[in-house]
Structure 1
Amino acid sequence: MENLKKWIISNISTLLLTVLFIIVLVNPDAKAWLMRQVASTGILNSSISEPAEKPANTAAYTGLMLNNEDGTFIDSSLLKNKVVFINFWASWCPPCRAEFPSVEKLYNKYKAHPDMVFLIINLDDNPALGKNYLKEKGFTVPFITPAANIPEALYNGSLPTTVVIDKKGEIRLHHTGVADYSKDSFYHEIETLLK
């Protein structure tokens, strides 16, 4: 028994790190918290860039068919001449959970702006899981689901994926993975697109 106490005392930091690792491994909220801490440093963020070459008169959201929470179809013509923030997420995805508080802050800052549209697209196999997650966490972002296949230019299968489209319909940000969208630097970039 005395040897066990000595071993525990000499290995306490290893034991604590092991327990923390197990918690992070099995608890999606703990994993999301850890990812949020890393994302808050800004090292994972990408920034809005100049538009890429593309065929004329072809908006990036062409072919994107979505439904609102009540199941009504979202007319993509409503996106014309708007800055569009698109976030693809699922409730089971720890990186999605990690960045969601920053998405919510961005949404709350710009939701009333007439030239800004938020498409927060849930990709859970069962949409009820996504709705429950938003309700449980108190998030107010719009709950949107795909009504058809998502164009590959916007989403390639990795979660989370965030896309920002400018008023001309051109992709200005395409980021896969966790990021922090509540930084002043990102707000400044959005403000530039809104002008």
Structure 2
Amino acid sequence: MNPKTKKIIGNVVFALLIALLIWPTSRSYFHQLLMKIGFFKPKLEAPQQVAKPLSAGIEKAVSFVNQLGEEVPVSDLKGKVVFINFWATWCGPCRAEMPSINVLYDKFKDNPKVVFLIVEIEGDKEKAAAFVKNEKLTLPISYPNSDIPREWLSESIPSTVILDKDGNLATRHEGMADYSTPDVATFIQNLINK
């Protein structure tokens, strides 16, 4: 192969790689690949501050609406481990981690001691439903019905919190993560067993 042909092939391959990184769908696949090879593990440890339940007034005020239009007050979930993921349809890392959350959800969906709230923060029901359908996910999508405490969602998405059965913040992770790992399932199971 002559040097000119090698240069042309090299430029074409480089252009394809750049195009793949720019194209949103391929970015999700790239993120998912990085998660599968061990990058983006969720932090599964209690927050630095002493974990304590939200004050009664705040806790009663926090609620979500599920995909059936039913209100889900967090105060009604006492006695259950609650996995809450905050995301938006336009967020690439959010979309990339959804299949891993779906794997975790499938492990616990029949366990009455665990609740999953996959909260699309913009309330865009049509886009959220289309995304779930296109990706063949079985996740139950919810939407905010009140202000979200800053302890749960500060400034970045995706963000995930797991509450223990007493409503304490057991862990919080900002950014994309692979929730399909055995460590996450064990963490939730340990919370159930307490």
- AA matched with 1:175: H
Q: 1:174 to 1:8 in 2, by over 3 A?
A: farther
Q: CA deviation at 1:79?
A: 1.2
Q: 1:12 aligns with which of 9, 13, 18?
A: 9
Q: CA deviation at 1:11?
A: 5.0
Q: Which runs of 5+ in 1 are unaligned?
A: none
1:130-156 CA distance string (max 9 Å, x none): 111111111111111101221111111
Q: CA deviation at 1:9?
A: 1.5
Counterpart of 1:140 in structure 2 is 138
Q: CA deviation at 1:104?
A: 0.4
Q: 1:81 to 1:39 in 2, by over 3 A?
A: same
Q: CA deviation at 1:81?
A: 1.4
1:34-81 CA distance string (max 9 Å, x none): 11111223332233224641556747x823221111322113233101
SS, match of residue 144 in structure 1 = strand
- AA matched with 1:47: K
Counterpart of 2:80 in structure 1 is 82
Task: Kindly report which structure 2 residues correspond to 1:31-180, keeping only aligned pairs within 5 A, or say none.
Answer: 31-50=27-46, 52-54=49-51, 58=55, 62=59, 63-124=61-122, 126-180=124-178
Instruction: Measure, in 1, the Cα distance between the counterparts of 2:157 and 2:46.
Output: 24
SS, match of residue 154 in structure 1 = coil
Paired-residue identity, % = 31
* Conserved 8 A contact 1:81-1:168: yes
Over aligned residues, Cα RMSD in angstroms?
2.1
Q: 1:149 to 1:7 in 2, by over 3 A?
A: farther
Q: 2:24 aligns with which of 24, 28, 41?
A: 28
Instruction: Measure, in 2, the Cα distance between the counterparts of 1:178 and 1:54.
Output: 23
Instruction: Measure, in 2, the Cα distance between the counterparts of 1:49 and 1:145.
Output: 26
Q: CA deviation at 1:116?
A: 0.4
Q: 1:45 to 1:71 in 2, by over 3 A?
A: same
The alignment's TM-score, normalised by the length of structure 2, stands at 0.87
Instruction: Measure, in 1, the Cα distance between the counterparts of 2:116 and 2:105.
Output: 7
Q: 1:180 to 1:54 in 2, by over 3 A?
A: closer
SS, match of residue 35 in structure 1 = helix
SS, match of residue 163 in structure 1 = strand
Q: Which runs of 5+ in 2 are unaligned?
A: none
- AA matched with 1:191: Q
Paired residues, number: 189
Instruction: Measure, in 1, the Cα distance between the counterparts of 2:86 and 2:54.
Output: 25
Q: 1:125 to 1:83 in 2, by over 3 A?
A: closer
The alignment's TM-score, normalised by the length of structure 1, stands at 0.87
Q: 1:137 to 1:183 in 2, by over 3 A?
A: same
Does 2:179 correspond to 1:181? yes
Q: 2:190 aligns with which of 174, 189, 192?
A: 192
Instruction: Measure, in 2, the Cα distance between the counterparts of 1:53 and 1:192.
Output: 19
